[in-house]
Every structure is written in structure tokens, then in C-alpha cells.
């Protein structure tokens, strides 16, 4: 396998959790809810995946991760949507709660100063035929099943948003909640469900981080990936397919770190750690004027 393929494969692997989380956040934001708790939901998903996988293998890990993501985002949905509190503050608090909870539970479950925890992970499952495509085949189709699930979910989300009445109502709720209500959309319920979908996907994102990328759990291991997902949603213009592309670009930027680190030995590695965040800021500055946020995003 040559260097380019290695790089691309790493890019897609790194992008998968971002893609899953961003897709979920896009659904929530399309409904008019900005959920900063997604970072917490992802973290909870990661711990859920670790606990589940320890207890009953990767599949249980995935299920536990989804449930954990749902649970955390249910808390957010109730506080921010049902009781109409400020979404930014509620999201920050929910993430804070998730950091505390996961940290405490992790120490309880695996001992105070975690010895490198090693988990049963999802192996790579090459798709017959497709993975033989030159250059891109390996990167796109020799990944963990969760990556394929992510591809499928992109299509599902697109279909949901643009081809179902429910999705039309969801988009209306995000654009003009009052008007949507007058057209018979149950705005609160739609937003609750959208946030829960986002939470489940964030949980899955945590699972893919733990089970398909890192193979272990550490406190605060999501390291802002949930927040990056929010930025990716902006870059992708709130459209599932473009969000997926933006996530892949971002994965590439993060994978670039590994590439650079092995080449540019003199440069401190921390500079590469900063790179994705700085890049995001740069792209956001450039992208903002050209994409349009749902008009009622963040309005309580």
C-alpha cells in the first residue's frame, strides 16, 4: 500500500466519527436547535462503547453507545426544547455534565489512574470488488462497518429531509417555527425528535471513535470533536451530502498531521494538533457569507 492510500484510508477513518456527529447535528440544526451538548453525547457514546464492548463485544458496545448518546441528548432536549431555555447554555451544561459523569464512571469502572485500556474493536471489513478500485477503493471501502453505516446514514438523512413530509415539516420548524406551527407542524415534538436523532448519531460517533479508531477510552477523549462537528455542519451548508464531504475534508486535515509529523521532524507536533482547529476557523470565515443558516436556529 503506498503512502497516498495510507493517508486516504486514515482520512476516512478519522472522518467517520466527525461525519456521524455532524450528520446528527445537521438534523437538529435544520429543525432549529443548536446542540452544544453533542460533544457530551459523543463522549458518553465513547464510554458507552467501551463499557458495552468490555461486557459483550463490539456490537453491545455500539448499542450502549447509541443509548448513551440518546440519554445525554434527551436531557438537553428536555431542558432546551421542552422548557425553551437558552440552547447555548443548556448545551454547555450538558457537555459539562457528560464530562463529569463519564470521568467518574470511567474511574469507577476501570480504576483510578487508567492503565491503558484495551478493547475488542471492530475489524476492517473490505467490501468485495469496490475495495479494489484504484486509489480510492481502499480508503472508502476497506473500513469498519461503522463507516459504511455512516455512508448509508447520509443517504437516509438526505431522504428524510428532502423526500418526506416529516422532513419538510422539520425544515419548516427550523426556518420559521411560528409559520410551521400554523401549517400544522408540531414544532416542539419535531425538534425533540431531531435532537434525539442527533444524540443517537453522536453516540454512534463516540462508538466509532473508540471501537474503530482508537481502541481505548480516556477521559475527555473526544477533545472537541463534537464542537468540530458543529463547525462541519456550517461548512457543509446544513446539507447532508455536503456535510459528509466537509467531514471528509476535515478528516483529511487531521490525517495530514500524521503525514507531516513523519516528514517534518523539526516542527513541534503541537502545531499540527492546532491545524484542524485553525483551518476550521479560516474556512468558517470564508464560508459564512455564502451559506445560510436556518433562520430560526437557536431561537427559543
Partner 1 sequence: MPRDPTLRRLGQALRTPVLAVMIGLAVLVIGLAAAGYPPLPALAALWRGALGTPDAVLSALLPRAIPLILIGLGIGLAFRAGAFNIGAEGQFYAGAIAATWVGLTLGAWPRLVAVPTVLLAGCAAGLAWAAVPALLRVRFGVLEVISTLLLNFVAEALVSWMVLGPLQESKHTYPQSDPLPLAARLPQLPGSRLHLGLAVALCLALALWLFGRRTLAGFQLRAVGLNPAAARVMGGVRPERFFAAALLISGAFAGLAGASEVSGTTFALFQNLSPGFGFTGIAVALLARLHPLGIVATGLLFAGLEAGAGAMQRDAGVPAVAVYVVEAVVILTIVLADPAARRTGVAAPNPAGR
Partner 2 sequence: MPAPLLTLAAIRKRYGSTEALRGADFSLAHGEIHALLGENGAGKSTLMKIAFGLVQPDGGRILVDGAEVTIRNPLAARRLGIGMVHQHFMDIPVFTVAENIALAAGWPPGGRGLRDRVRRLAEEAGLPLDPDALAGELSAGLRQRLEVLKALAGEARILLLDEPTSVLPPSEADTFLGLVQRLRDRGVATILITHKLQEALAVADRITVLRAGVVVRTSAAGAERADTLATAMLGSAPGRPAGRIRAAAGDVVIGVYDLVIPAATGGGTGVRSASFQIRAGEVVGLAAVEGNGQRELLRALAGLVPPTHGTIQVTGPVSFIPEDRTSEGQVGEFSLTENLVLSQGRAAPWVRRGWLDWAAARRRAGELLERFDIRAPDPDVAAKLLSGGNQQRQIIANAMERRPRVLLAENPGRGLDLRATMEVYDRLRHAAADGAAVLVHLPDLDDLLEVADRILVLAGGELIPMPEGAPRDLIGRAMLGTSVVAAAG
Residues at the contact surface with partner 2, assessed by CB under 8 A: 162-165, 167-169, 171-172, 175-176, 178-186, 292, 295
3-state secondary structure of 125: strand
Q: What does 185 bind: partner 2, partner 1, none (CB cut-off 5 to 8 Å by kind)?
A: partner 2
CB 168 to partner 2: min, Å: 4
- Interaction partner, residue 297 (partner 1, partner 2, none; CB < 5-8 Å by kind): partner 1
Applying the rule CB under 8 A, the residues between 170 and 209 that interact with partner 1 are none
Q: Distance of alpha carbon 285 from its chain centroid, rounded? A: 22
Contact letters for partner 1, residues 210-249 (x by CB under 8 A)? ---------x---xx--xx-xx--x---------------
Q: How far is residue 48's CA from residue 68's CA, in Å, rounded to a whole number? A: 6
The yes or no reply on residue 27 touching partner 1 (CB under 8 A) is no
Nearer to partner 1, 134 or 289 (CB): 289
Task: Report which secondary-structure segment, H or E, holds 126.
Answer: strand 125-126
Q: Could you tell me the end-to-end alpha-carbon distance of the chain, in angstroms, rounded to an integer?
A: 52
Question: Which of 86, 164 has the CB closer to partner 1?
Answer: 86
Q: Is 110 in the site for partner 1 (CB under 8 A)?
A: no
Q: CB within 8 A of 57, min separation 6: which ones?
A: 120
Of the candidate residues 6, 92, 213, 216, the single one contacting partner 1 (CB under 8 A): 92
How far apart are alpha carbons 217 and 42 in whole angstroms?
12
Query: Mind giving me the DSSP string for 66-83?
Result: HHHHHHHHHHHIIIIIIS
How many Cβ atoms from other residues are within 10 Å of residue 27's Cβ?
29
Residue whose C-alpha is closest to residue 118's, from 12, 214, 189? 214
Nearer to partner 2, 141 or 238 (CB): 238
Residue 274 interacts with partner 1 (CB under 8 A): yes or no: yes
Shortest CA distance to 166 belongs to which of 200, 202, 191, 149?
191
Residues that bind partner 1 (CB under 8 A): 34, 36, 79, 83-86, 88-90, 92-94, 96-97, 99-101, 103-104, 107-108, 112, 219, 223-224, 227-228, 230-231, 234, 268, 270-271, 273-274, 277-278, 280-281, 284-286, 288-289, 297-300
Amino acid at each position: 500500500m503506498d503512502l497516498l492510500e495510507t493517508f486516504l484510508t486514515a482520512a476516512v477513518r478519522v472522518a467517520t466519527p466527525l461525519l456521524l456527529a455532524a450528520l446528527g447535528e445537521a438534523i437538529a440544526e435544520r429543525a432549529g436547535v443548536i446542540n452544544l451538548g453533542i460533544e457530551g453525547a459523543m463522549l458518553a457514546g465513547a464510554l458507552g462503547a467501551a463499557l458495552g464492548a468490555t461486557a459483550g463485544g463490539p456490537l453491545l458496545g455500539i448499542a450502549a453507545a447509541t443509548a448513551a448518546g440518546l440519554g445525554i441528548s434527551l436531557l438537553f432536549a428536555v431542558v432546551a426544547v421542552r422548557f425553551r431555555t437558552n440552547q447555548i447554555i443548556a448545551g454547555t451544561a450538558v457537555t459539562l455534565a457528560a464530562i463529569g459523569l463519564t470521568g467518574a464512571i470511567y474511574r469507577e469502572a476501570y480504576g483510578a489512574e487508567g492503565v491503558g485500556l484495551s478493547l475488542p474493536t471492530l475489524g476492517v471489513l473490505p467490501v468485495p470488488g469496490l475495495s479494489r478500485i484504484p486509489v480510492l477503493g481502499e480508503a472508502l471501502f476497506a473500513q469498519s462497518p461503522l463507516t459504511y453505516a455512516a455512508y448509508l446514514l447520509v443517504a437516509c438523512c438526505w431522504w428524510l429531509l428532502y423526500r418526506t413530509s416529516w422532513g419538510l415539516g422539520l425544515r419548516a420548524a427550523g426556518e420559521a417555527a411560528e409559520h410551521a406551527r400554523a401549517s400544522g407542524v408540531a414544532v416542539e415534538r419535531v425538534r425533540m425528535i431531531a435532537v434525539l436523532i442527533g444524540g443517537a448519531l453522536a453516540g454512534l460517533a463516540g462508538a466509532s471513535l473508540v471501537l474503530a479508531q482508537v481502541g481505548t477510552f480516556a477521559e475527555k477523549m473526544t477533545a472537541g470533536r463534537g464542537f468540530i462537528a458543529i463547525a462541519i455542519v456550517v461548512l457543509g451548508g446544513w446539507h447532508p451530502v455536503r456535510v459528509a464531504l466537509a467531514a471528509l475534508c476535515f478528516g483529511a486535515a487531521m490525517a495530514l498531521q500524521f503525514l507531516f509529523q513523519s516528514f517534518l521532524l523539526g516542527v513541534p507536533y503541537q502545531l499540527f494538533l492546532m491545524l484542524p482547529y485553525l483551518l476550521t476557523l479560516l474556512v468558517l470565515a470564508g464560508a459564512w457569507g455564502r451559506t445560510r443558516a436556518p433562520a430560526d436556529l437557536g431561537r427559543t
